[in-house]
Amino acid sequence: MDRQIVYVGAVPLDTDQLLQSRNTMVALGYLAKMTIGDDAIYADGLGCSPGSGLSVVIAPGSMSLPTIIDGSSYGSLPPDGDPLVKLGINTAPTTLPLPAGGESVISAIVVEAQSGSSAISYYNAATPSQTLVGEQGNGQAQETVVQQRIVLAATSLSAVPSGYVPLWQVNVPSVATQVTSGMITAAPGAPFLPVKLPKAAPILSPSFIGNPIAPTPAAGDASASLATTSFVAAANIRNRAAWGTGGSYSWTCPAGVATILIRAWAAGGNGGAAASGTPGGGGGGGGYEEVLIGVAPGTSYAIQIGSASDGTSATSFSSIVVIGGGGNGRAGSGSQPGLGGTPGSPIINNLSSITDIGVGAGQAGFQLGGTNVGGAGGPSFGVQGGQPCFGSTVGATGLWPGGGGGGGAMGPGGPGADGLMIIEWTG
């Protein structure tokens, strides 16, 4: 803060005192700005308690006021429009009578006014032995102090004066003759300082009370930012996408997602046809893989779902995961029934994957008591093998997803089932 310099023997000036007072006020105002800012009004103290009868007593306290240094002249100093936080201070309690009955509001405002009127003695340069009373000897009193005080008002809810800040509400029943503490509550949004510096949370291992809030980080944020409940809730939402019909598709990785779980089935092999009076073998079950892989947000990935009917039996996720379909069952040949198709398996494997659980080969065709029996289709994960077909029936369609088609007993074999891909992620 600025401090005035006064030299020995120099003629004292009124501005020496005035500037010292103004500089002190400015320093205290900037200290207030440093601690509470200058974008709002805050109050400290000013507690409300029952008074005598239908009145309340407002305790001493202070209130801030974002304003300017001086809107008008201060003694012989000119106005100063620079911004400043001023403090209105009441050092004594104030008793306020309440309006009759109903709910009252105690509101406050910081007012700056000149006070301390008295007749001041002046030095008479023309006659040094004579003292002048009042300016130029007029004997009139003058203000001697500029006060910053908190002015309080007790009004109805609809009559709060303009510019006043509500601090307390007092709800007095119509039959009451005495205010009690149970009738007094803080006004909604009252700007009391919630905590003093000694009770503020320390930087190291703070212990918060109430419901502290913080900005919610963006989805996928892996920095040292605080994870709010909103961020955690969004991050724990489980999402899923699935494709279960043979064909080509795509999936775009959402923002904030870095890892996905893929569970994928390739298509089952087709069943072999009966030929030359001998049955065909069943198609092998499609391969299965379950794997966690890393992905990049915003990237579009190609997806292929296997379909034995068009020969694209493999199921793939880009070129990262590729799973082979089940082999086709062999057709019967002469006196030799057709062999079952081989089971599918991952073509591109990941060490962290789970593969080929329950995946099996197709059953070879056979004869039972002179009756042709087409081989059953092979199983895939979660899907049992198909049923063999007897006599003149055609091979059964493989069970979805990934089941092998049945071999024909006296006709064509059944088609293998299409594959399936399920992608799951959180966030």
pLDDT value, residue 350: 67
What is the average pLDDT across 133-139?
Answer: 84
Write the single-letter amino acid at 175: V
Handedness of CA 170, 173, 179, 183 (dihedral sign): negative
pLDDT value, residue 25: 93
Among 251-255, 391-395, 416-420, the range scoring the smallest mean pLDDT is 391-395
What is the average pLDDT across 77-92?
Answer: 95
Q: Look up residue 140 and give its two tokens.
A: 């009139």
Q: Look up residue 385 and give its two tokens.
A: 């093998």
What is the average pLDDT across 386-415?
Answer: 91
Q: How confident is the model at residue 351 (pLDDT cuts 50, 70, 90)?
A: low
pLDDT value, residue 285: 96
pLDDT value, residue 202: 80
What is the average pLDDT across 201-215?
Answer: 82
Q: Look up residue 299 and give its two tokens.
A: 């990237």
CA distances (Å), origin 137, targets 32, 133, 170, 282: 42, 5, 52, 126
pTM recorded for the entire structure: 0.55
Q: How confident is the model at residue 352 (pLDDT cuts 50, 70, 90)?
A: confident
Q: How confident is the model at residue 199 (pLDDT cuts 50, 70, 90)?
A: confident
Residue 211 makes CB contacts below 8 A (sequence gap 6+) with: none
Does pLDDT of 309 surpass 90? no
CA distances (Å), origin 93, targets 51, 63, 105: 11, 14, 17
Does pLDDT of 87 surpass 90? yes
CA distance 21 to 246: 86
> In what side-by-side order are the strands of the sheet with 247-252?
247-252, 300-305, 315-317, 321-323, 346-348
Closest C-alpha among 250, 416, 399 to residue 340:
416
Other Cβ atoms within 10 Å of 175 Cβ, number: 6
Name the average pLDDT for the chain: 90
Residue 346 makes CB contacts below 8 A (sequence gap 6+) with: 287, 289, 321, 322, 323, 324, 353, 355, 356
